[in-house]
Amino acid sequence: MEVKDELVRKFILMGYDPGVNFRMTYQPDGELMIAVCSNKSDGAYEMLKAAEKAVI
């Protein structure tokens, strides 16, 4: 969870197992949800950040 000025700005969910990776964020103020699944042990974080940058 990302909090700023005592308000929740972003909820973050992540999970992984060997060979797979998942990250999801939800931003309630903009009603934006982004979910990324990767078939590698890493890589979802970078894709999520790139998607957030492109949208926001």
Reported as a single tens digit per residue, the pLDDT across 3-54 is 777 778 888 999 999 999 999 999 888 789 999 999 988 889 999 999 989 9
Residue 20 structure tokens:
């797979």
- d(CA 38, CA 7) in angstroms, rounded, equals 30
pLDDT band for 55, please (50, 70, 90 cuts). confident
Q: How many structural domains does the chain have? A: 1
Residue 10 structure tokens:
């972003």
48 DSSP 8-state letter: H
Model pLDDT, residue 41: 85
Model pLDDT, residue 47: 92
Model pLDDT, residue 3: 79
Whole-model pTM: value is 0.76
Phi and psi angles of residue 11, each rounded to the nearest 5 degrees, phi first: -100, 140
Enclosing domain of residue 6: 2-55
